[in-house]
């Protein structure tokens, strides 16, 4: 009975960080705690050591590691999670020094992604990032690579592959890249088809757990999983969205972001994130109730610049405003809308903001075609969204949303 309870209890973790002054270590370790919770761990304690730089061999100082070694025996700690990317030698040295399993921030995020990926593309992207990250860490790990599903940091599709030699892993990486190139080709063809068909896209980006999936569900009834956890959803979702004017756009959700998102993951998910670079409008969703909201906006904007989305119309969507006592405390950057996706507050203003931000290449008009020119009505039906048609004494009246090109071509049939 005791053994069964031991197996069922969550892994107990001690979080470790070095405060070099390069970033807010307190805020970062709190985020690490949320990540650990999302992965299924129980955080027992947190340790932050101020240092000019991490120790090259042990990351922390030997005095602090001695304290940790003594502490972890009493509450039965299972693993140490470090709030930075450890070198292979640092990881091995700390495990040898403390006798405990050691993982870093990148391994933890990769583990969460391995749990959350559902589509074939998502699983391939996660496996690629895992293999690229673990390849230089093969040496000296011995039997630890045989822990199939043995806890946080060991899940996912890569373990059995890592027991093979490096050449086999390189072959697997090459094979995944080939598959992802095919996926990217299909995604590019879809983008080209949307552009050819005149379909405009609105892409949701933002920090993880900002309410992107809740917003997607409210706007389109997409039925996307929405949980109060980091990276609750990983695979992108696309749904049609009807705007107040009758214009229909494609709303696309993307993977959430965190501070210092591992480079391997940014590269692996670039084809997904690049939806933002080709979008007509970007919705930068941010949790307005988070004290670090300004920092979250900056993280997202930096990645958008990296992806080549500079100059795209951006609507900053400050979500969860129902949890804010004074909206004057909410950061304002550029074109900003305040909403609560859960309660539906401010959604109408958001839809109007999207409408305003879209390129002005479509216009809603009422056309009157004399019966002698009825064949021209086909241009309107083929090009735009028709709201109504009415046969009157003087001809056919059509209320429709059309491209500016068609409106200009049929200018003499437009009713004032």
CA 11 from centre of chain: 26
Instruction: Supply the pLDDT for residue 146.
Output: 44
Unique residue bearing structure tokens 């240092």 = 51
- Residue ranges per domain, the chain? 11-109, 199-357, 362-413
Closest CA to 95 of 166, 147, 25, 161: 147
Q: Beta-carbon neighbour count of residue 337 at 10 Å?
A: 19
pLDDT at 308 over 90: no
Mean pLDDT, all residues of the chain: 81
Do the Cβ atoms of 72 and 90 come closer than 8 Å? Answer: no
Q: For 122-150, what is each residue's pLDDT tens digit?
A: 788 888 888 888 787 765 454 444 444 55
Q: For 243-270, what is each residue's pLDDT tens digit?
A: 887 778 888 887 777 777 766 667 666 6
What CATH code is assigned to 11-109?
Answer: 3.40.50.11060
φ/ψ of 208, rounded to 5, equals -60, 145
Instruction: Supply the pLDDT for residue 347.
Output: 92
Averaged pLDDT for residues 197-219: 84
Do the Cβ atoms of 121 and 235 come closer than 8 Å? Answer: yes
What residues does 368 pair with on adjacent strands? 397
Closest CA to 25 of 71, 79, 84, 103: 84
* Dihedral Cα 129, 131, 132, 134, nearest 10 deg: 110
Do the Cβ atoms of 246 and 195 come closer than 8 Å? Answer: no
Cα distance between residue 341 and residue 338, in whole Å = 10
Query: Model's pTM, two decimal places?
Result: 0.71
pLDDT at 32 over 60: yes
φ/ψ of 118, rounded to 5, equals -120, -40
Q: Are strands 238-242 and 248-253 parallel, antiparallel or unpaired?
A: antiparallel
Task: Say if 11-109 and 199-357 have the same CATH topology.
Answer: yes
Cα distance between residue 187 and residue 164, in whole Å = 32
Q: Assign a CATH topology to domain 199-357.
A: Rossmann fold (3.40.50)
Cα distance between residue 100 and residue 78, in whole Å = 7
pLDDT band at 15 (very low <50, low <70, confident <90, very high): very high
Do the Cβ atoms of 255 and 207 come closer than 8 Å? Answer: no
Cα distance between residue 196 and residue 160, in whole Å = 44
- Of 83-97, 151-165, 191-205, 290-304, the one with minimum mean pLDDT is 151-165
Which tokens hold the place of 352?
């109007």
Averaged pLDDT for residues 165-172: 81
Closest CA to 12 of 69, 70, 81: 81
Q: How far is CA 153 from CA 186, 202, 277, in A?
A: 32, 35, 32
Cα distance between residue 197 and residue 80, in whole Å = 53
Do the Cβ atoms of 151 and 79 come closer than 8 Å? Answer: yes
3-state secondary structure of 44: strand
Instruction: Supply the pLDDT for residue 305.
Output: 81
Q: Beta-carbon neighbour count of residue 141 at 10 Å?
A: 15
Pick 75 or 253 by higher pLDDT.
253
Cα distance between residue 64 and residue 312, in whole Å = 48
Do the Cβ atoms of 142 and 121 come closer than 8 Å? Answer: no
Residues 6+ away with beta carbon under 8 Å from 271: 180, 183, 184, 187
Instruction: Supply the pLDDT for residue 415.
Output: 86
């Amino acid at each position: 009975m005791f053994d069964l309870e031991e197996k069922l209890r969550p892994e107990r973790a001690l979080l470790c960080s070095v405060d070099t002054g390069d970033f807010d270590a307190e805020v970062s370790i709190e985020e690490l705690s949320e990540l650990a919770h999302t992965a299924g761990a129980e955080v027992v304690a947190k340790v932050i050591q101020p240092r000019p730089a991490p120790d090259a061999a042990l990351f922390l100082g030997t005095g602090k590691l001695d304290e940790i070694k003594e502490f972890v025996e009493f509450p039965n700690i299972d693993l140490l999670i470090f709030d930075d990317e450890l070198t292979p030698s640092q990881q091995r040295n700390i495990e040898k020094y403390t006798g405990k399993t050691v993982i870093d921030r990148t391994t933890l995020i990769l583990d969460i992604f391995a749990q959350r990926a559902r589509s074939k593309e998502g699983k391939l992207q996660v496996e690629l990032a895992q293999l690229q990250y673990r390849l230089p860490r093969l040496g000296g790990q011995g039997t630890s690579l045989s822990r199939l599903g043995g806890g946080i940091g060991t899940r996912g599709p890569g373990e059995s592959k890592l027991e093979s030699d490096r050449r086999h892993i390189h072959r697997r990486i090459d094979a995944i890249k080939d598959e992802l190139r095919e996926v990217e080709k299909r995604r590019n063809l879809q983008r080209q088809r949307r552009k050819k068909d005149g379909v405009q896209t609105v892409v949701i980006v933002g920090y993880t757990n900002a309410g992107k999936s809740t917003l997607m569900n409210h706007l389109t009834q997409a039925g996307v999983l929405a949980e109060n956890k980091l990276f609750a959803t990983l695979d992108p979702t696309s749904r049609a969205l009807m705007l107040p004017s009758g214009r229909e756009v494609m709303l696309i959700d993307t993977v959430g972001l965190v501070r210092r998102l591992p480079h391997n993951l940014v590269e692996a998910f670039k084809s997904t994130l690049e939806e933002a670079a080709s979008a007509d409008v970007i919705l930068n969703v941010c949790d307005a109730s988070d004290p670090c909201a300004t920092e979250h906006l900056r993280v997202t904007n930096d990645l958008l610049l990296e992806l080549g989305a500079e100059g795209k119309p951006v609507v900053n969507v400050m979500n969860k405003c129902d949890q804010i006592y004074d909206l004057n405390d909410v950061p304002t950057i550029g074109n900003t809308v305040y909403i609560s996706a859960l309660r539906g507050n401010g959604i109408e203003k958001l839809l109007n903001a999207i409408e305003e931000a879209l390129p002005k290449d479509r216009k809603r008009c009422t056309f009157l075609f004399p019966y002698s020119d009825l064949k021209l009505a086909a241009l309107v039906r083929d090009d735009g969204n028709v709201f109504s048609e009415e046969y009157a004494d003087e001809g056919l009246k059509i209320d429709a949303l059309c491209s500016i090109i068609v409106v200009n071509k049929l200018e003499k049939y437009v009713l004032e």
